[in-house]
Amino acid sequence: MSRRTSKFRRFLSRLFKERQIYHRSDGVVHFISMSSKTQVALAIVVGAALLWVAYASVNVVFKEQIIVAKEQDFLVMQTNLSKRLHDAQKAYDDVNWLNHTIENEFNETMDDVWARHNVLKNMVERKAAIDDSLAAQAIGLSAAGGPSGQKPTNGNRLMIDISPGEPTPRQSRQSVLRKEAAEEAARRRSQSGDDGIAEEAVEAMEKAAAQLYTEQMLLLAAVEEKANAEIEKLRGVIYSTGVSPDSLITPAKISNVALAQGGPFIDAAGVGGASEKFFRGANRAANAVDELAAIQAVISHLPLSSPLTVTRRFTSGFGIRRDPITGRHASHYGIDFAAPWASPVTATGAGVVKFAGTRTGFGRTVEIDHGNGFFTRYAHLSRISVKRGQRVNLHAKVGELGSSGRVTGPHVHYEVHYRNRPLNPRRFIEAGRYVFES
C-alpha cells in the first residue's frame, strides 16, 4: 500500500467522518449514525443524479443545433456527391462529344482523302495504259529499224520516257503545296472551334490528312508534268513527219476522248478548300492525260515504219527524178526499196485495207487507210495477202515483193498520203525512229 493511497484515505475519512444526526420528537431524542462509507455512497449517487440532469438539460437545449449540424453535414455530402455525378456526366458527355467530333471529322477527312485517291488512281491507271500502248508501238517500230533497216544505235532505248517516274516537281512547288496544306488544316481547325483533347486528336488527324493531301497533290502534279512532257515529245514526232500536230490533235478530239471516258469525271461542287484545289488540279491533269490519249491514238495509227522489215536497199527517193523507163523527168510520189523476190511487204501502221487489186502502172497494189486523213500504198507486189475492208496491225503482211506494173526490176514502191496529197515517206520512217530512239 503506497503512501499516497493512505493519504487519500485519510482525506476521505476526514471529509466524511462519522456523523450522528439528532432529532427530537415527543421529547425523545433519536439519532442516526452515518458511517464514512455510507456518506461516500450517498455522495456518488447524488453526483451521478446531478450529472444526468446536466446532460439531459444540455441535450434538450442543443438538440436543435445538433440536428441542424447533422443535416448540414448531410447536405454537404449530398452536394459533393451530385457534384461528382455531374462531373462524371460532363466527362461522359465530353467523351461522347469528342467521339462524335472526331468521328465526324474523321469521316469527312476520309471521304475527301478517298475521293482524291480514286481520282488519282483512275488517272494513273489511264496514263499507265497509254504508256503501255506507246511502249508496245515503240518496240514494234524498233524491230523494223530505220529506212534502210538501221537498228537503233542506242540499244533500243525509247525516246519517250515512259518509266513511272518519281513525283519530282520543282522544290518551290512542293513548298507552296505544303504551305497550302498547313493553311487548310488551320482553317478547318478554326471552323470547328473545338478545344482540349478533341483539338489535339483532330489536329493529329488533320496533320496526317494534310500530309496525304500534299503527297496526292505532288503525285497529281507529277502525272500532269509527265503527261505534258510526253505530249511534247509525241508532237515532235508528228511534227517531224511534216504534218502539223495541231491539224491532227484538235480540241474537239480531246474533248471527244474525255466524253468517251464519261466526260468531265470530276465534280468539284460541294468540295471546299484543299479538295477544291485538288479537283481543279485533277481536271488540269485529266485534260493533259486526255490530250496524251488523243495524241497516242493518232500516233498509234500513223505509218511510221518501213514496208519491209527484212534486209532491204533504199533505191529511190521522193520527188523529181528521171523516169527509169522513158528517161524523162517525172515526179516520183513515193520511195523504192529493193529486196529478194517475194519478201513479205508489211503494213507500216495499223489501219484498214481500202484497196487490194491492180492499178495502172503500179501493178498489184494494196492501200491502207490509217484514219485522220492518212493512207499508204504498196505497189509492184507479186502477190496480195489481204482483202478490202480487212483490219491490219503494224507489220501485218499485206503481200509479197515483186515486179508487177511498170518496173525495171523487183522492188516495192511505197507512198504515204495525207488528205490526198503525197508526202515523203522517208520522213515518216525517220520520225518513227524518234519513238524508240533518243
Residues in contact with Zn ion by CB under 5 A are 334, 336, 413
Phi, psi of 121 (to 5 degrees): -60, -50
Q: What is the smallest separation between the CB atom of 413 and Zn ion, expressed in angstroms?
A: 3
Give the separation between CA 225 and CA 233, rounded to whole angstroms: 12
112 or 336: whose CB is closer to Zn ion?
Answer: 336
Candidates 180, 192, 187; CA nearest to 201 is: 192
- The pairs formed by 277-283 with CB atoms below 8 angstroms and a separation of 24 or more are 277/180, 277/217, 278/116, 278/119, 278/213, 278/216, 278/217, 278/220, 279/116, 279/119, 281/217, 281/220, 281/221, 281/224, 282/116, 282/119, 282/120, 282/123, 282/220
Residues 6+ apart with CB under 8 A from 140: 305, 394, 395
Angle at 373 between CA 371 and CA 374, to 5 degrees: 75
Q: What is the smallest separation between the CB atom of 423 and Zn ion, expressed in angstroms?
A: 15
Q: Are the beta carbons of 226 and 127 closer than 8 angstroms?
A: yes
413 or 426: whose CB is closer to Zn ion?
Answer: 413
Q: What is the smallest separation between the CB atom of 379 and Zn ion, expressed in angstroms?
A: 7
Question: SS3 helix, strand, coil % of the chain, rounded to 5?
Answer: 55, 20, 25
Give me the residue whose beta carbon is nearest to Zn ion.
Answer: 413
301 or 364: whose CB is closer to Zn ion?
Answer: 364
Q: What is the smallest separation between the CB atom of 144 and Zn ion, expressed in angstroms?
A: 19
106 or 333: whose CB is closer to Zn ion?
Answer: 333
Q: What is the smallest separation between the CB atom of 416 and Zn ion, expressed in angstroms?
A: 13
Between the alpha carbon of residue 113 and those of residues 39, 98, 107, 210, the distances in Å are 103, 22, 10, 9
Q: What is the smallest separation between the CB atom of 336 and Zn ion, expressed in angstroms?
A: 4
334 or 402: whose CB is closer to Zn ion?
Answer: 334
Give the separation between CA 408 and CA 12, rounded to whole angstroms: 169
Q: What is the smallest separation between the CB atom of 348 and Zn ion, expressed in angstroms?
A: 15
140 or 402: whose CB is closer to Zn ion?
Answer: 402
224 or 336: whose CB is closer to Zn ion?
Answer: 336
Between the alpha carbon of residue 358 and those of residues 108, 352, 379, the distances in Å are 69, 18, 9
Cα-Cα-Cα-Cα dihedral sign, residues 156, 160, 166, 169: positive
Candidates 164, 137, 138; CA nearest to 152 is: 138
Q: What is the smallest separation between the CB atom of 334 and Zn ion, expressed in angstroms?
A: 5
Q: What is the smallest separation between the CB atom of 331 and Zn ion, expressed in angstroms?
A: 11
140 or 303: whose CB is closer to Zn ion?
Answer: 303
Q: Are the beta carbons of 41 and 48 closer than 8 angstroms?
A: no
Residues 6+ apart with CB under 8 A from 105: 192, 202, 205, 206
Q: What is the smallest separation between the CB atom of 412 and Zn ion, expressed in angstroms?
A: 8
- The pairs formed by 322-328 with CB atoms below 8 angstroms and a separation of 24 or more are 324/408, 325/406, 325/408
307 or 334: whose CB is closer to Zn ion?
Answer: 334
117 or 359: whose CB is closer to Zn ion?
Answer: 359
